[in-house]
Amino acid sequence: MCQYSSQNGLPTEWHMVHLGSRAVGGAGLVMTEATAISPEGRISTGCAGIWNDEQMLVWKKIVSFIKAQGALAGIQLAHAGRKASMDLPWSKRRLVPITDGGWLPVAPSAIAYSEDYALPEEMIESMIEKVVEDFSNATKRAIKANFDVIEIHAAHGYLLHEFLSPLSNQRADKWGGTLENRMRLTLKVCKRLRALWPAEKAIFIRISATDWMSGGWDPELSVELCKQVKEIGIDLVDVSSGGVHPEQKIITGPNYQVPFAEKIKKETGIAVAAVGEITDPEQANEIIKTNKADFIAIARESLRDPYWPRRAAAALKAEITPPLQYGRAWNG
């Protein structure tokens, strides 16, 4: 999911993940999703970005509003890679051709995600370095916009995940082949952003723990990656899965990704967030109580039920402070 923009990547509507966290001071965290670091890094023609100051100033207003409600504000920085230049997800057409406002996607290898997606351009060294600079510049703007948390999007078949997975990365240079080479770009981005981002503020990374495909990225490789991002100073791994290959066979169900988060937490010691078909307050609380994860991220359920935090607080007998304008009706 991403924010949607009427023009020029300016946010006009945004989807949010609500994430309660001890590591961010016990406050609720509102996370904007898939915010593009460059025009070519957008997933769709309607995605918002943070690649210029005009966008940053709009985000700054949104951040101010979020904080006025007593929450913290986070932004997920993303590059779509070969899954770029698409139409809005509810549109009847998918791929937007260059002749109609689309653009040429880039990727570690010139392999299309599927026949419904564009054939991407294989990235040369200067293009890879530009991605690092784009992440860096987006982070500098996130600082100016006063965000509390940034999350590096390295999941769901987007650019950083494309470099990690041998299914999408078939390079023979220093950016491909061995695990060390395939992790190189993600780790370089993590190092650069950790150096730029204020030391007292948290950085998350979102990963796909498995490709759900033989010969692809898997939980053991995820553990190795997470050991290294922990050494860099990344504070939390947001553990999702899939998205890099259309023939993936995902076995879904309540808590279906929680074992991946639990494995990473136990084998690396880094804090993790559990996501995916977590819809019930008691279900979410049990994951935390049994130490399978440190955080619960609620996304789609919060779109279906914007009052999920209040419902969860009531179910778990926790006290929360309502928005000021809701106060008169909160308990009556």
Residue 11: both structure tokens together: 């946010």
Residue 332: both structure tokens together: 């009556």
| Rounded Cα gap, residues 87 and 110, in angstroms | 21
Q: Among 33, 29, 27, 32, which residue's Cα sits nearest to residue 19?
A: 29
332: helix, coil or strand?
coil
CA of 163: how far to CAs of 55, 155, 225, 305, in Å?
A: 28, 10, 13, 35
141: helix, coil or strand?
helix
Q: How far is CA 156 from the centre of its chain?
A: 9
106 beta partners: 121
- Which residue among the candidates 4, 113, 158, 326 is catalytic per the annotation? 158
Identity at 74, one-letter amino acid code: G
- φ and ψ of 74, to 5 deg: -125, 155
CB 4 within 8 A of CB 48: yes
| Rounded Cα gap, residues 209 and 263, in angstroms | 10
Half-sphere exposure of 104 (CA within 13 A, CB side): 9
Catalytic annotation present for 158:
yes
Residue 252: both structure tokens together: 């879904």
Residue 255: both structure tokens together: 């808590």
Q: Among 28, 21, 40, 54, which residue's Cα sits nearest to residue 82?
A: 40
Question: Which residues are part of the catalytic machinery?
Answer: 158
